[in-house]
Structures are given as C-alpha cells and as structure tokens.
Amino acid sequence: METAFDEIAQFATTADRDTRRSLIASLRKLANSLEDTVGTIHRYGHIDLEKAMIQIGMDLGIFKVLTGTDGPLTVEEVAQRTNVDPQLMRRFLRYYNTINVVTEVSAGRFEGNNITKNLTEKVLEAALHHYYELVSGQYRTMRSYLKANGYQNPTDETHTAFHEAFNTHVHPFQWMTEHPHLLDHFNTYMALRRQADLSWLTVYPVREETAGGGMTADRALYVNVGGGIGHQCAEFRETYPDIPGRVILQDLPATIERRALQTAGVENIAHDFFEPQPVKGAKFYYMRGVPHNHPPHRVKQLFANIRDAMAADSVLLVDETVLPSTGVGFIAASIDLTMLGAFASMERTESDWRELVESVGLELVRSYTYNASDNETVMDIRLPKSS
C-alpha cells in the first residue's frame, strides 16, 4: 500500500492544477467509501472545532512560526515563540497533526507542511476571517430559515438567513460598511484571490474589439462596475496601456473612499449600480462576481441600467461562475448555497444566464472560459444587432 501512495505522490508533483483537483476529489471519495459510522460521527461532529482551532492558530501565529524556520521545532520552542503555556501548545499541535495542518516528525517535535504554508498566505487569512466572522453566522441560521419558509427557493433579498443571523434588515453589503473591519476582510479577499494566469484578459480579444478606430481619449474604454478596490482596473490598464480611452472604477462610496487603489490612468467613481449608469457609451462595461450576489429581479435591474447606457458597439462583460449541467464541484456548490443564505441568490448555468440576459433585451453572444476547474467564464453580452 505504501508503494501505491508513493506513486500517487510522485504523480502529483508533476500534475497540473486541474489534475491535482481531480486527484484530490477521487481520493476523498475513496476515503469516504471506507469510513464507518463512528468515523462519520466524529468527522461531522467536530467540524466547528476544526474551524475554531484554525482561528486560534492564526491568532497566535503558530503556522507562521512553523513555516518561518528550517526544520522541526519542539513543543517548547513553539510555545515560547507564541507566548502559550507548553502543555496547552502540546494539545494544540497534536490536534493540528491529526487534521494534517502540521506534521509530527517525532515525539514532541513538529514542522510545517503544505497546509501550514497555505494558512500563512494573506489571501487565506482575509478569506477565513470573512468566512468565520461573517458567513458562518448565516450558515447557523439556514436550517431554521429554510424550514420557516417552507423550503421554497428564496428570492427575497430583504429576508435571508443572513438577516436572521445578524438581526438586521439592511443588505449584507450595507451591513459590512457599518462594520469596516469585515468590509476590509471581504475586499482584501476579493482582490487577492485572483491568480494572474487565470484572468479573463488571457482569453478575451480586447485588442481586436478595439481595433476599428472607435476609441478616443475622452471615451470610456473600460468601466469596472462594482469593481471593489480596483485591482481589475489596474490589471487592465497595465495590460493595455496603449489603447486610448478612460478606465473607470465604480463601487459604493465606503469602498471608494476607504480602500480604492490610486492607480495612474484610472478614475475612481462612487456609484450604486442599481441606479442609472452615469458613464454613457463605454466600449466595455465589466463586472466580476457581481450578478451572482443578487436574485433574478435585481440582476435584471442591474443589466437594464447598463443596457440603457450602452452604445451600439458597447460590450457588457460578465465575469462569473458558469455551472456545468452535471458534475458541479464542491467549491461551486458551496458558494451557490452561500449566495442563497446571504442574498437569496445563486450560481447559474449558461442557460440561466442567457435567460436573464434576454429578458432585458440583450444578447449573450459568446462565452470565454479561462479557468475550467472553477467554471470561471467571461460572457460577451451586447445589444441585439437590430437595436
């Protein structure tokens, strides 16, 4: 058996990202097929403990200590560097070893591994703060919320599991502006989670679309609607510095005023995308992960606002998850239910997107997938040619 595991490990060292994801899913299915009832009890029964212990490890800097040194450390060394009682640290580390967050190399000696390193990344810290301090609250109320609503598919964004969890009537994004540290975690996570080689700019023909001579310095070239702190705008301007036209970041005032990047060649404008679009006739209106935060009637309003601002050659670029018709993966299915709990929204298939687009008089011309493993796709949406 050890030989089989060694062969799998050797294969994984040269496998690409998609293959590794598939291998992980297959191995987890195999593990689950071998699990007895006691194992299932404790795997699900201790889920919240695992989350709590990860938070404790991050708070204390345990993972950074273990990855910041060459070779293993003793329990006492880790305890001293984190100012924790040695007996308590021993209990922490032996638990982390059981969930493969650290590796026990001998009695009382531990070292970091791949997951330890992952837990020190800035994007992960922001993401887990977002999930643990905000999203997990709505998970706890989903059961009672859905039961009280007769297990109907939610469509009312003013009454969701989020609202019950935090005893509020305001929209989650408005609520975050009232809790700035949570908004900071969210914006940091959204900005850093993108990988440079997994971008819509690697597949969409921006230069070809702007080659007809319709661009001038005073026309808007690229408007990032709901663009957060502006990393997409900065990437676009850096990639196409020679194409004339204005590059514009739009988001709510709290984000623009507190966090927006000051990027040369990028204009930062406060705008609520449920209000009429103030920038008329842009070549590209782009939004990343915006419509999936809203139920169908709100997406229609959002699309209609942009439609009314479009010129004949304008393109609405919607960069979103596009679910396959079968075999939806764990991450996409989890985010789908997270959208349900927060916004009464959902992840969508291409047919779902097409129905929404056509309902407001637009046309989904083509989809460009740039990250197949996560179903990330940019959709090219235009006014019908007869318009």
Structure-token match 């056509």, residue found: 358
CA 327 to chain centroid, in Å, comes to 20
In three-state secondary structure terms, 67 is helix
Structure token pair of residue 143:
């059961």
Half-sphere exposure of 59 (CA within 13 A, CB side): 10
| Cα–Cα nearest to 163, from 145, 185, 179 | 145
Question: Would strands 284-288 and 266-270 be described as parallel, antiparallel, or unpaired?
Answer: unpaired
CA distances from residue 15 to 10, 25, 123 in whole angstroms, order as listed: 9, 14, 24
Task: Give dist(CA 24, CA 385) in Å, integer.
Answer: 46
CA distances from 352 to 60, 323, 348, 359 (A): 45, 9, 6, 11
The span from the CA of 123 to the CA of 133, in Å, is 15
Told to judge if 292 belongs to the known catalytic residues of this protein, a careful annotator would answer yes
Angle (CA) 237 242 246, round 5°: 55
Distance, CA of 317 to CA of 315 (rounded, Å): 6
Q: What is the DSSP pairing of strand 266-270 with strand 376-382?
A: unpaired
Nearest to 223 by CA among 274, 258, 269: 269
C-beta separation of 283 from 244 below 8 A = no
Question: What is the signed CA dihedral for 288, 294, 298, 302, rounded to 10 degrees?
Answer: -10
Backbone dihedral angles phi then psi of residue 249, each to the nearest 5 degrees: -100, 130
- Measuring CA to CA, which residue among 368, 194, 382, 204 is closest to residue 289? 194
List the catalytic residue out of 130, 271, 292, 294: 292
Residue numbers annotated as active site: 292
